[in-house]
Chain A
């Protein structure tokens, strides 16, 4: 059978645990594309038209969907919208090309929250207004605040809607948000959270509840701005977790401090008609039984789990009849491997995970900007070579 489905139909089939015409494939390439187009990170972020054009010009490297995650810039709005943006963009890297420290560091501890009292009293939004985050943000003019608050989102989505129209591919998300424990690590520093989890566990949990609600409500609103219900993929929330997983924290801490608030966020979004792409860095093989309940009580086809280091074969065994899984060609292989090695890896992944549907071939988190384009092409080709149903 040839390719008879659109990217949207193919991805929808996978989310609904059905076999499509072939395995969907989507390396996360939002850094590679501007690099190859000669754009700096700053240019890519500040000019969504140029970034979207770079994606259109290089759509052979995109796969079935693209995530414009780098560039949503909610943090530049009058009222910062997303903790992800607050903590993930290190403004020092912007001017460089190739972008130094290309992946904005969510591991760069900023120690923005001295204690939890203020957050618990006034809600998490108060935590987003810290001058310690970046003086540059607070030095912006009124016109700049207004532009990034109101005009930029319109321009951003106008550019990406054009990408969808011209390529026929879909968006990976309409908004992103963080799983609260992970955000708190960045706000409190890893060292600070070590103390908090052991000395103040109930405060951590209450802060996770507040932050989790704040994040997911904002993400749903931003999905509507992105065109949820009109543009393929804009109804999806990309919910990320970086350090709230082994080897950084134990499976027990994941079960107690991470999963309950992740499940709360997923339930809030799905019951309101959104879909949730849960992006899970680290190795969650030991937590797969816990994650097998992520879609409990929800309609099928609304949750996808995206793994970095987790054993995908085991994930398929545990989750295969419950949620779609996505992953996990290693970043190192994309940079230092050969196209043959990528092909071998993808073939094995497809053998392990594709049977019966419910699998999307993806990269292990972001494909680095210095990846070999031929390796990205090999990954995309593998879906057609080995993933026909």
Chain B
């Protein structure tokens, strides 16, 4: 584990950026630094899973990682020709619901894992999800909700994906405070979780690997 991972693990943005600069000056491959940063994110993620840190700290780690990536991306392009992402996820808060905090946390965590995210925003209709699946052909569709009434909306969307012949081509994950308390048998998804970190782990697992 390098200095960048160490700095991320203690949520020290200044130390993280300094570690990046020192390593780049020493000729370290920027992709190796991305890997080291992800190691730091995994440490914070494990602390979150153990209840040692909370969403605010998890979000802070992701913010620091994003700042690091902003520094590294031009060097990656210069060294390797292009930045690399792996996998594509379409995210949105379902129709009738405008809560977006959980969705935004998942989005930033996925981006830290190198996953490209198409964020459809809030109050997203079934048709808009279908349109996005057809246009972007994601491996995973994530639907978020907070309200009890949104559960039926999630299930309706999955039925619409089925009717459109799109369901077999995508994994569906539903998240948000409400789904953590609902009997999972009520939800027509491959995975339902109220835990952002667990959701991200599942999505990355479905996609197969990280770059």
Contacts and interface: CB of A to CB of B under 8 A. Distances in A.
To the question of whether A and B form a pair in one complex, the answer is: yes
Interface residues of B, number: 30
Interface in A132-164: none
Contacts of A193: 56
B186 to A, nearest CB: 7
Interface in A41-100: 90, 92-93, 98, 100
Q: Is the interface of B mostly helix, strand, loop or mixed?
A: loop
Interface in A316-348: 330-332, 335-336
B76 interface: no
Contact of B54 (A249, A335, A371): A249
A190 B56 CA distance: 8
B31 interface: no
A349 to B, nearest CB: 16
Nearest to B122: A108
Contact of B101 (A190, A197, A250): A190
B104 to A, nearest CB: 7
A195 interface: yes
Given A102-B147, A247-B55, A253-B56, A107 B100 contact: yes
A250 B149 contact: no
B53 interface: yes
B56 A108 contact: no
B206 to A, nearest CB: 24
Nearest to B11: A198
Contact of B60 (A101, A198, A335): A198
B210 interface: no
A197 B56 CA distance: 9
Contacts of B147: 101-103, 368
A23 B11 CA distance: 47
A90 B56 contact: no
Interface stretch (B37-45, B91-99, B155-163): B91-99
A184 to B, nearest CB: 13
Interface string B143-157: 000111101000000
B111 interface: no
Given A195-B63, A330-B181, A250 B148 contact: no
B98 A105 contact: yes
A105 B55 CA distance: 19
Contacts of A369: 149
Interface string B24-62: 000000000000000000000000000001111101100
Chain A contact residues: helix, strand, loop or mixed: loop
Interface string B81-98: 000000000000001111
Interface string A193-235: 1110111000000000000000000000000000000000000
A109 B123 contact: no
Interface in B147-206: 147-149, 151, 178, 181-183, 186
A352 interface: no
Contacts of A100: 95-97, 123
A107 B144 CA distance: 13
Contact of A190 (B11, B59, B95, B122): B59
A243 B96 CA distance: 21
Given A247-B55, A253-B56, A332 B98 contact: no
Given A102-B149, A330-B181, A370-B148, A194 B60 contact: yes
A55 B167 CA distance: 44
14 contacts: A90-B98, A100-B96, A100-B97, A102-B147, A103-B146, A107-B146, A108-B122, A109-B101, A190-B104, A194-B63, A250-B57, A336-B182, A368-B147, A368-B149
Interface of B: 11, 13, 53-57, 59-60, 63, 95-101, 104, 122-123, 146-149, 151, 178, 181-183, 186
Given A190-B59, A336-B182, 20 more contacts: A90-B98, A92-B123, A102-B147, A105-B98, A107-B99, A107-B101, A108-B100, A194-B63, A246-B54, A248-B54, A249-B55, A250-B56, A250-B57, A253-B56, A330-B181, A331-B148, A332-B178, A332-B182, A335-B148, A336-B183
What 3 pairs between A and B have smallest CB-CB spacing? A100-B96, A332-B181, A335-B148
